[in-house]
Structure 1
């Protein structure tokens, strides 16, 4: 079983994914890092040099490539991955794949991202008010795609252990 975590930046995909992979003794793959490794460039460099359309094409190709692998793994998608190139259709048509949306409120995301704005080029220059508006707009636009995940977990007011328990409960049923 391939487990795919999706949600907005700051929703906990990488943190949860790494912990889940340790517990399940499965490889953890961060799709953005995978793309960076294949192209030997950082995501900001890819956007700056090649543009977003090129990035989204490579992102789609890499996602399909990973889903064709025989082995099981935990995969953390980029926040925008579900929204482009029919990626949710690709994910949902695979039999050995389970997708989990880490549904996180705007306020929770804002609080998390305030602490790490410098490391996130999309939001680095936004003040707190702009950050809230930016996230609210993105979540509104992206929620249609996120909601297509086979499972949704509300992460608000939950600690990491509670979220992991919910995911493990979902995975037991499969």
Structure 2
């Protein structure tokens, strides 16, 4: 089985996926880390030097390779991965895939992202917290359709990563 963790940036996909992989003894692939490894550049550098479209095409190719691998694994998707091209359809049409949507409110995400804004290429240009909140709200609205196609929805607010992992295990 391949377990895909989706959700908006800052929701905790990377942390939860590491703990879930350890608990289930599955290998972990963080899609952004995999892309950085292939390109030998940070995601920020890829966005800056080659643009979002290049990144999204590469992301889809890497996702396709992951889906073709017969191994069990945990995959932490990028926040926009399910929303581009046919990515969500590719995942959903793979019979060995299970998708988990880690959900949080706009306010929760804004607060969390405001602390790491400089390291996130999609939001590093925003000047203040109000702009960040508007950006997150708009994106969440646009992406909700894709995120809600997940097999399992987990609300992460007020929960530790371990509590989230336990909840995911119970719903698999």
Q: Which residue of 1 aligns with 2:115?
A: 115
Q: Which residue of 2 aligns with 1:159?
A: 160
- The question of whether the paired residues in 1 share the 8 Å contact of 2:100 and 2:154 is answered with yes
Name the CA shift for 1:165/1:11 in 2 (closer, same or farther; >3 Å). same
Partner Cα distance (2:59, 2:87) in 1: 9
Partner Cα distance (1:132, 1:51) in 2: 23
Q: Which residue of 2 aligns with 1:60?
A: 60
Q: List per-residue Cα deviations over 1:102-122 (Å, max 9, x = no partner).
A: 011111111111221121122
- The question of whether the paired residues in 1 share the 8 Å contact of 2:2 and 2:97 is answered with yes
Root-mean-square deviation (CA), in Å? 1.2
Partner Cα distance (2:124, 2:45) in 1: 15
Partner Cα distance (2:55, 2:125) in 1: 22
Task: Give the stretch that moved more between structures: 113-122 or 92-101.
Answer: 113-122
SS of aligned partner of 1:10: coil
Q: Which residue of 1 aligns with 2:38?
A: 38
Q: Which residue of 2 aligns with 1:140?
A: 141
Q: Report deviation, 1:39.
A: 1.8
The correspondence of residues 1-174 of structure 1 with structure 2, limited to 5 A, is 1-126=1-126, 127-171=128-172
SS of aligned partner of 1:50: helix
TM-score normalised by structure 1 residue count: 0.93
Partner Cα distance (1:85, 1:121) in 2: 20
Partner Cα distance (1:43, 1:111) in 2: 22
Partner Cα distance (2:97, 2:40) in 1: 28
Aligned residues: 171
SS of aligned partner of 2:48: helix
Partner Cα distance (1:30, 1:96) in 2: 18
Task: Give the stretch that moved more between structures: 115-124 or 91-100.
Answer: 115-124
Q: Report deviation, 1:79.
A: 0.5
